[in-house]
Chains A and B, each alone.
Chain A
Amino acid sequence: MKIIKIDKKIWSDGVEKSRDSYRLIGPVKDREFHQFRELAKGEQPDMNYKNSRLSPKSIAFPQSETMFIYDLDEKAEEHHIMQDAEKDYSPRAVIGIRPYDAKAFKILDLNFNNSDYQDPYWVNAYNCTTFISLAVNSPDKFDFSTSCATGPFDDSAVDVLLVDYNDSYLAKIMTDKGLAWLNAAGFTTKNGEIDGAVTGVSEAGEDIYEIIEKLKADAESKIRSKISFDKIKEKSILDIFNAPFWEDIAFACLNCGTCTYSCPTCWCFDIQDETNGRKGIRQKNWDSCMTPLFTVHATGHNPRHNDWERTRQRFMHKLKYFQDKYNQGIMCVGCGRCVEQCPANIDIRNICNQMNNGE
């Protein structure tokens, strides 16, 4: 693994240059909050952002995605036949994504791309994306990512990890995909050799590794929120499911979709046909286990009739069922969005600890 040092003076020109071979996505401020979206020509990712309000999962799993289009007009050619919606899976780079948000893509991948099922929309969108991640030097008070097998400097799910260091970005090159983007941006030499020949780019010596390690340790030490889930795995599903604390935990919960929609790892979706006149689309929409509609049967019966049962479902899925099924930790990267945004202060950190340590 190599590290190069990119002078911030040449950063935006390089980003712009990479457009020749990539579509670019990055954090931009829209009214009060940052969001990830495709960057217009000349538009730069805001590398000083704190966190995006909604997670960047939408770049491969949008809130509404058209899968098919159809025409009900019998005069039309191929009427009543579903046609593939047009898609652009040309190479793209997401710049500035936080390491834990990139890690969330690995979790989503377990669901959308496994030996039983491959969701082509997800797989294609994920595969065409290069992750140019930005380490978090100053985690906020909601961040508990270090408890969730990731962290502010986690490089396990990224192609390049950028570390903001004074007037430069230190770029840890994790994959060939990442190197290819750096080449396209002109941050390396033309043939991909990293020899520091390009203006403003120099090969970093050994001390750079130490600098990154130090910044990483500093950042991690700022994270005060911790959760434990080791005992949840040992407990039986029914013991936690029937625990006495759920109604109390869920009392304040409004059963809105704030947590599920802001969450980088919530993957549930619903398929809907929408017709306008004689033309229609079949789309995939985010769904939320907080809503009664999520489980209501065609008979009208709802196995999760009560509000508190739906709140319980969300935490059981993230912290218990997921652990049991995949044996890869919990379905949470500790980004803290749900904690920050919940109108009723439903705090997954407390609930996780209660499930772990409670009766």
Chain B
Amino acid sequence: MTMNINQSDINKKQIDIINQQYTEKIRESAKKVLLEKKVDVVIGFKNGTEPMTTEPCLINKASDADKLIWNEHCRLNLANYVKGRKDKAAVVAKGCDSRNLVNHIIEHQIKRENLYIIGVPCNGMVDKSLNLKELKVEAESDTMQENLDLFPINRDMLQDNCKTCIKRNPVIFDEMIAEPVKEREWTKEEKLKESFESVNKIEAMAESDRWSFFNDMLSSCTRCYACRNACPLCYCPTCFVDESRPQWVGKGTDLIDVRTYHFLRAFHCAGRCTDCGACEAACPMNIKVRLFTKKLDKECFENFGWEAGMSLDERPPLDVYKVNDNANFIR
């Protein structure tokens, strides 16, 4: 049975209610932790200047807490805004943000005791290039129900990384602003097939096709570095592309240099990337830069069963040697 209804309208109402509840709870928590002097600052999102935009913001007075909001456009990763802070900070964190906070703690970028994590059960972020009003979805009713169950936001509207999210609820938190949302139960096979579908497609290409695919994909890159700067993992005091003594990479638009930047950045994220999607959300040219990091996520998952930022008690695979490591390449 096909239903000719505008599913986005139904979902929009449901999402609006969730957003309102989340927003109120976030404001309440922010006020509380500031008044009780548990933290010096709260880092969250405020409304942007245009519809469907948000802006990370920092508040340090309880009276400013009402600036904070939550909605399906909070795409940036707020873990990016706490790195290197010396004060006590509360941070509003969805699943992926919390995994990057775990990374930060493991990598000694922040101390757990300096963080107060306001956990947000996440329903996914809407793809930045979609216009909700224009998007009309006709869906099979049973699939639709399934989608509604798991994703109050229609799956087609979500940004790519949210479609295959493995952790929608925060991994670590000091308080949750709502009941946890249902997590999808993935089998290893499902993950390898579905979550890494984009990577599998590229792996299946002939070498020369893959090469031209990447060249084509990167041809519109302007090297603005929005992807790097939006990434919580990128905190080197001087990035290798900015190093001038010696200069490792050319500064122009030569594709050799563009590729060098993207490939090396991805390798630097191996075993650390949480697939939060901030890089793609930030890219002004809409380049699918996640394809690179996703490939390395897959390697880590296949070879070490590793997914970054899931636990404070385990060292990342590139950081530690285990006797049973899959290390055929050196045997």
User: Which residues does A use to contact B, with CB under 8 Å?
Assistant: 30-33, 53-54, 63-64, 141-142, 248, 251-252, 254-258, 260-262, 270, 272, 274, 283, 285, 288, 291-293, 296, 339, 341, 343-347, 349-350
Contacts and interface: CB of A to CB of B under 8 A. Distances in A.
A38 to B, nearest CB: 16
Contact of B76 (A292, A341, A344): A344
Contacts of B143: none
Contacts of A248: 58
A343 B250 contact: no
B226 A283 contact: no
A231 B57 CA distance: 27
Given A32-B129, A256-B229, A339-B49, 19 more contacts: A33-B286, A53-B285, A63-B253, A251-B56, A254-B229, A254-B282, A256-B224, A257-B225, A258-B224, A258-B282, A261-B284, A262-B284, A272-B250, A292-B238, A339-B50, A341-B284, A343-B281, A345-B53, A345-B54
Interface in B175-201: none
Contact of A293 (B49, B53, B242): B242
A344 B56 contact: yes
A32 B58 CA distance: 34
Contacts of A33: 220, 285-286
B110 to A, nearest CB: 17
Interface in B189-244: 220, 222-226, 228-230, 238, 242, 244
Interface residues of B, number: 36
Contact of A343 (B76, B81, B129): B76
Contacts, number: 99
A258 B80 CA distance: 18
Nearest to A30: B220
Given A343-B230, A344-B55, A345-B55, A256 B244 contact: no
B254 interface: yes
20 contacts: A31-B220, A32-B129, A33-B220, A33-B285, A54-B222, A64-B253, A64-B254, A256-B224, A257-B226, A258-B224, A262-B284, A272-B252, A274-B250, A274-B252, A292-B238, A293-B244, A341-B284, A343-B282, A344-B55, A346-B55
B305 interface: no
Contacts of A53: 284-285
Contacts of A262: 284
A256 B282 contact: yes
Nearest to B247: A272
Contact of B223 (A141, A257, A296): A257
B251 interface: yes
Contact of B252 (A285, A341, A347): A285
Interface string B76-113: 10001100000000000000000000000000000000
Contact of A288 (B58, B81, B224, B238): B224
Contacts of A252: 55-57, 81
Most chain A C-beta atoms within 10 Å of own C-beta, residue among B80, B224, B283: B224
Contacts of A30: 220
